[in-house]
A and B are shown apart, each in its own frame.
Chain A
Amino acid sequence: MGEIKEAELPGLGKKYVVRLDSGDRFTVVIYDEGNRELFCFAPEEEEPLCSVTLTDQEARQVGSIIGGAFYQPKLLEKLESAIAELHIEWLKIAPNAPLAGKSIGDLSLRKKYGVNIVAVIEDAGKGKKRTAAINPGPGYVFTPGQTVIAAARRDALEEFERMVSVEGG
């Protein structure tokens, strides 16, 4: 984890210096009028390697891209974010998972387990675009390869995870 230092720039805004594990320093200046300026410093260097200026809108867009809202790296298909008691997980359905081929209604996920399916992202085939079923109904059938975004309490999610992953594995 990077170590973050915050400094006030009176009349301009705020500065955040993130010391990365690699030794690089990454500096973000947030101007009072909304622009963000990003600087990258190699270890022990005083001149930045590069710098970028973003408007407020662009900074938010880039921020959500970095946060992974648009695309999850393949290796990290299981992504979890937790707010208070609510846990949200992105889970990929394994080829021979217990729930493959069953519908949400068959499993009565909500009634029995207290798990809400927020969305299911279809696996992209060759030449096909990824599509997502947002808030799927009880008739929705799970197939292997899909990524399920589920919201529930911690314990319920753990049980759900077993249904999604490989049997016995």
Chain B
Amino acid sequence: MNDLLYNIVFVFLMATVAVVSARKLHFSSIPLLILLGVLFGPHAPYGAGFDFRLVKSTESVELFSRLGMLLLLFYLGLEFSAGRVIKSGVTILKGGTIYVTLNFLRGVGLGWLFFHSWPEALVVAGITTVSSSAIVTKLLVELKRTANPETELILGIMVFEDAFMAVYLSVLSGYFLAQGTSFVVGLMAGFITVAFIFAVLGLGRFMSPYLDRWLNFRSGEPLIMVVFTLLVIMAVMAEKAGVTEAVSALLLGLVLAETSHVKRIIQLVTPLRDLFGAVFFFSFGMGIDCRQFAPVALLVLAALGATIAGNFIAGIAGAWVCGYRGRPLVNVACTLFARGEFAVIAAGLAGASGSAGILQPLAALYILLLSIISPVLAKKSRSIYLGLDKAWRLLSRHKTESFAG
């Protein structure tokens, strides 16, 4: 009778199942949402007697998913503040720079090795560089490591990565809009987008007293209405101006973060982000044919190996620079493996720009596998440290012996 509504019911039913069971299993909801999207989406397996294709990718699902993406980035903008990065201290700035740079270079190298083309290399770097702050924070709480001295560094690196992601996404989307041209032109377009963002930010700072007064509503109702409407208007305007709507949402978040109403806006937006964000991750899974997993499996394995090794080294290096020694070093390196929301967003951006169709299943499988591996590695950090310590001692003794002999 009403196919549209049935479809939405199924989408939210699956998303709810994913989120609720993730909570019960002490697991991140993002990989589960993607998995259910793959299993019950339009590309789901079907055969004699069974048909898993419960959900169709209709216009309304797409709209919800787009809103989810807008809200995720809007939230990133709201949460980001330069002040916070600076406040987290010079050491974290140093450690964060080293960690992100090493990881990003490793990501670009990996991407270049896979595809021999710059746009794909940049997307692969985006997928494999930035840890999921949601998953990492959850891990820290669950493993009862919040009291540990290195936890401040880990969370500081998260803040730093969020900031990096804001810049990276702007560059990437600018790059994709200038697609078809050379690498340099694309990169230039990316940096023009970043320059544009800084200009708007400057304007936002100048405008913040006016915005403050204008948004000064007693009740939450008008505030969320104005904010959401602004978000949609910005998305349309961005499209007209030739910027991705993702960047426009980020930008609006950054501007509103300068006003005194941030805390209230964050409170109002968080449930919306959770609701539509779930649809975004689910619909990302819906777009993936599980038969595509086979051809990318080798690439994913290579990416996993490179990520775990590279991330471990980058984590150790970052923590070393910040003055940590011994076990905390290994703890830092082992906690940051999880990838999640930003990987999906980066892959989603690539998909929208018509880049290689192989990237989305790659990202999906990569996130799924890492989400299983990363908590195990984080839990085992003690034995990893002990093993490394033993190996190091054996090695150094061997050296001295050979010197003596």
Binding site for B on A (CB under 8 A): 7-12, 15, 17, 27, 29, 37, 39, 41, 46, 48, 51
Do the beta carbons of A9 and B155 come within 8 Å of each other?
yes
A/B interface sample: 18 pairs, CB < 8 A: A9-B152, A9-B155, A10-B155, A10-B156, A10-B159, A11-B155, A11-B159, A12-B137, A12-B140, A12-B141, A12-B155, A15-B146, A29-B146, A37-B144, A39-B144, A39-B147, A48-B147, A51-B147
Q: Are B147 and A29 in contact (CB under 8 A)?
A: yes
Set of chain A residues within 8 Å of B156, measured between Cβ atoms: 10
Sample of 14 more A-B contacts, CB < 8 Å, known A9-B146, A46-B148: A8-B87, A9-B151, A10-B84, A11-B158, A12-B140, A12-B141, A15-B147, A27-B147, A29-B146, A39-B147, A41-B147, A46-B327, A51-B144, A51-B147
Assuming the contacts A8-B152, A10-B155, A10-B156, asked whether A37 and B147 have C-beta atoms less than 8 A apart, the reply is yes
Q: Please, which residues of chain B bring their CB within 8 A of the CB of A29?
A: 146-147
Q: A37-B147, A51-B147 are in contact. Are A11 and B133 (CB under 8 A)?
A: yes
A15 touches B152 (CB 8 A): yes
Q: B158 — which chain A residues lie within 8 A by C-beta?
A: 10-11
Is B88 part of the contact surface with A, judged by Cβ < 8 Å? yes
A45 vs chain B, min Cβ distance (A)? 11
Chain A residues within an 8 Å CB radius of B141:
12
| Closest Cβ–Cβ distance, residue B250 to chain A (whole Å) | 18
Alpha-carbon distance A41/B327, docked complex (angstroms)? 16
Identify B88's interface contact among A10, A12, A15, A27, CB under 8 A. Answer: A10
| Set of chain B residues within 8 Å of A17, measured between Cβ atoms | 147
Closest chain B residue to A28 by CB distance? Answer: B147
Determine the residue in chain B with the shortest Cβ distance to A26: B147
Interface residues of B (CB under 8 A from A): 84, 87-88, 133, 137, 140-141, 144, 146-148, 151-152, 155-156, 158-159, 327
Determine whether the beta carbon of A8 is less than 8 Å from that of B327. Answer: no
Q: How far, in whole Å, are A60 and B146 apart by their CA atoms in the complex? A: 21
Looking across the interface, which residue of chain A has its beta carbon closest to that of B140?
A: A12
Residues of B within 8 A of A37 (CB): 144, 146-147
Q: Note all chain B residues with C-beta closer than 8 A to A8.
A: 87-88, 152
Alpha-carbon distance A27/B137, docked complex (angstroms): 18
The CA-CA distance from A137 to B259 in the complex, in Å, is 55
Complex contacts, A41 vs chain B, CB 8 Å: 147
Q: Would A12 and B148 count as touching, CB distance under 8 A?
A: no
Report the minimum CB–CB distance from B41 to chain A (whole Å). Answer: 31
A7 CA / B159 CA spacing, docked (Å): 15
Cα distance A11–B139 in the bound complex, in angstroms: 13
Cα distance, A41 to B137, chains bound together (Å): 22
CA distance A27 to B151 in the complex (A): 13
B-side contacts of A11, CB under 8 Å: 133, 137, 155, 158-159
